[in-house]
Amino acid sequence: ARATLDTNTIYFFYSYSHEINECFQILYEFLLKATSLVLPITIFAVIQALGRGQFIPEFFAFIFGVFMVGTTPCYYSNMLMEKSEDVRMTLYSCGWETRFDLNTRKCIILMLCRALRPVSIRTIFRSVSLTTLTDVFQQAYALFNLLNAVWN
């Protein structure tokens, strides 16, 4: 069974991602940079406090909040990228090569060309995805190791 796809669905994907990119591009860049900076500092503070025998629950709530705020856009953007790949595969497998109407074939080929670049949320410098989140966590871990090496 072939999946059917109307042009309103395709337009929704591209217009919605464009709207998000225009509104939140700088905010997402700031969130990713802040996550890679705030997360290791707070975890280091928790370890230092636990070393002194103190338990500060606010730190754990803060770490959870930073984690959620940093991961949510990456996860959502990764889902958008997967859905845009599904849209591209649906367009390709719709049987466009068997259509005899030239305008229909041209329209589908144009949509296929547009679908080559996946829909994603972008920051100023790169696309937001789970790969970007992995890079952020690697930077945070490197900063945490640096803090440990300096203070210990």
Q: Which residue has the higher pLDDT, 114 or 69?
A: 69
At 2 the pLDDT is: 45
pLDDT at 37: 93
What pLDDT does 38 receive?
93
pLDDT given at position 122: 85
Taking alpha carbons only, the member of 88, 86, 106, 87 closest to residue 97 is: 106
CA 131, CA 121: separation in Å to the nearest integer? 13
- pLDDT tens digits for 35-91? 999 999 999 999 999 999 999 999 999 999 999 998 999 999 899 889 888 888 888
pLDDT the model gives residue 143:
95
pLDDT over 70 at 13, yes or no: no
Q: What is the pLDDT of residue 8?
A: 66
Measured distance CA(124)–CA(33) in Å, rounded: 12
- Cα–Cα distances in Å, from 120 out to 30, 80, 95, 114, 140? 17, 6, 26, 13, 23
End-to-end C-alpha distance for the chain, whole angstroms: 62
Report the share of the chain in percent with pLDDT over 70.
91
Average pLDDT over residues 92-109: 81
Instruction: Work out the pLDDT band at 1, boundaries 50, 70, 90.
Output: very low
Averaged confidence pLDDT in the chain: 85
Residue 7 has pLDDT above 80, yes or no: no
Among residues 18, 31, 101, the alpha carbon closest in space to that of 72 is found at: 31
